[in-house]
Amino acid sequence: MSTLEIRFPAQLEAFKSSVTLSTLGVLLVAVLLTVGRSAASGRRRAWIRVGRAPGLFGRNKKAAVQDFQQHGRALVRHGYNRHKGRNFVVYTAEKDQLIIAPRFLPEIRMLPESKISHAQVLMDYWVGEHIGADVAMGGAQHIDAVRGPLTRSLKTTVPMMHREYRRTSEFLFSQIPKDTREMSVYQFCYATVSSMTSTVFIGEELTHAGGWGNIVMEYFPEAWRIRNALKPWPYALRPLVKPFVVKDNKLEAILAKAERYLDEPIKKRRSPDNEDVDILKFLAEYNESPRKVALQVVGIITGALNTSTHALMEAIYHLCAHPEYIPEIRAEARAALASENMQWTYEVSKKLHLLDSFLKESLRVFAPEGQVAITRKATSSFSLSDGTWVPKGTYIAVAGEAMSRDPEFYPDPERFDGRRFLGPDGLPLSPDREFHGIEPGNGMWGSGRLTCPGRHYASALSKIIIAGLLLKYDISLPKGQTLKPGTEMDANLMPDMTQTIVLTEIE
């Protein structure tokens, strides 16, 4: 027995007992922590990563961005096919993006803005507070006006849209060189979409009064220039560096011009006896400031210009690649017009079933949102049913292009089939198989609360433009030319902007 044990037997026993209890306590805490972590990991499934990770403190970010820019479509398609039915994360051009499997769409489809936000995605992408988007998107008036009044008024606006198409297209056709008969596809689509959309949004009188077209054309390039200059800078530093990196900022002058242009028309449309049916009237009735209304109108038109122009360009390219559809689409348009006394009405556009299916198939194959679609930002944390934890600030999307090539949704998906969405009777297989419909596997129009509010308008607009072109001309590529592939830009696919087509007037 040691001296220590002889002298302090009681204290030693107490010490041993204390050590034993402490050890047991530590072991118990460790067990509880392990069980807790196991339970948490069961609730919170770890993310599967596809492609290169940005690394700790972003040390591999540059390489990850470069990988996505060069192989983004392949990366997302690989992740979708390899991890079928599961969620995965990929680092895109500037951020990690959680790509959720299609089976989880119903879970996020109806989540409120307090959980996931499309507006915040746009604000982040466009550095919205520096181009006026924060004012334009303050509230949902612009979305409500397009989803409700615009869609309900299509019977009134479609004849007006057709008049505007005739006016714009006849001018464009008059400028075609007589020797080559070649026309820029981009110029044709952009000009017709711009004039028709402006007419629906602010009325024929204001569209033709002079100056409005310049405002719309000036806004987008300037907003894009500001966005590109500020995007590389951290959010907090942007206001400080803006005067130095954005030289000769013209945006305020453009917006002031738009506000002055619309000021009196807004007051006029607020009159109780005003009978206008344009979007400007619906927005004016919310009694917001002229600046906000002007920003909303310019912003919506700009958005419609890009998406509709690109989709129509690709539809024209697909017609050139599959000319066997042209006579049938033309015959269908002639029959529909004859049934409506040769007047282009909303009913005419609803009877163009083959054109409807062709446009939908073109959009499926083209997939303008490319790798990812239905992008949202988590504005608060939540968990999916498989345990995938979605922290606040996470970007969520679906693999839009991979879904459109999935045989589970579309049999023989690599084949272009202009009749894919029609039954044997030549009618749509179901309402969700129409151009504006959202069938399983379709990421083109969004999902849930923020499904594209203008898809019914886009359908009518597209049919007027494509049918109008084919009722007057046969179209083809210039001799010896083949279609060039689209260009990837971040998560988007851009059609070739330089392509021309040859117009041959029909008998």
How big is the chain, counted in residues?
507
E-assigned strand segments in 150-283: 182-184
Task: Give the β-pairing of 500-505 and 473-476.
Answer: antiparallel
Closest by CA position to 278, among listed 164, 459, 146: 146
Is 452 annotated to bind a ligand? Reply is yes
d(CA 50, CA 99): 10
CB 54 within 8 A of CB 93: no
The answer to whether the Cα torsion of 316, 318, 322, 324 is positive or negative is negative
CB 282 within 8 A of CB 293: no
CB 471 within 8 A of CB 73: no
Region of 4 on the Ramachandran plot (φ > 0 left; ψ -120 to 50 alpha; else beta): alpha
Task: Write the DSSP symbol of residue 45.
Answer: B
d(CA 447, CA 257): 35
∠ CA 364-402-498, nearest 5°, is: 55
Q: Which residues, at least 6 apart from 334, have a Cβ–Cβ distance to it below 8 Å?
A: 471
E-assigned strand segments in 285-385: 373-378, 382-383
Q: What is the DSSP string of 361-428?
A: HHHHHH-TTTT-EEEEEESS-EE-TTSBEE-TT-EEEE-HHHHHT-TTTSSSTTS--TTTTB-TTSSB
Q: Which residues, at least 6 apart from 221, have a Cβ–Cβ distance to it below 8 Å?
A: none
Residue carrying structure tokens 């008998």: 507
Binding residues: 452
Binding-site residues for heme sit at 452
